[in-house]
Amino acid sequence: MQCYEWSLYIWCLDVFVADTVCWGEGSGTATHAQAVADEIHNSQLLTEYHCGLGTQHGWGTGNGGH
């Protein structure tokens, strides 16, 4: 298993939240690519929770840096 720390940015609060990404045998996530995809999804959900639905920010919108 391999792991690293990932920072999730909540734009409306202007804060970063640390999370750990793991993949490989025993982690429940087979590949690094899947671990990254899962973290992107988690980041979207965290931002949605704090900043609300329909903010048009996040992965794939072109506004991820705001």
Sign of the dihedral defined by the CA atoms of residues 58, 47, 10, 27, in that order: negative
Write down the pTM of the prediction. Answer: 0.67
Q: What is the DSSP string of 14-49?
A: TEEEEEEEEEBTTTTB--HHHHHHHHHHHHHHHHHH
**pLDDT at 55 (0 to 100):** 56
61 token code pair: 């919108």
Return the DSSP state at 51: H
**pLDDT at 24 (0 to 100):** 93
Q: How do the pLDDT tens digits run along the chain, 66 residues long?
A: 999 888 888 888 899 999 888 999 999 899 999 998 888 888 888 888 888 775 555 555 555 444
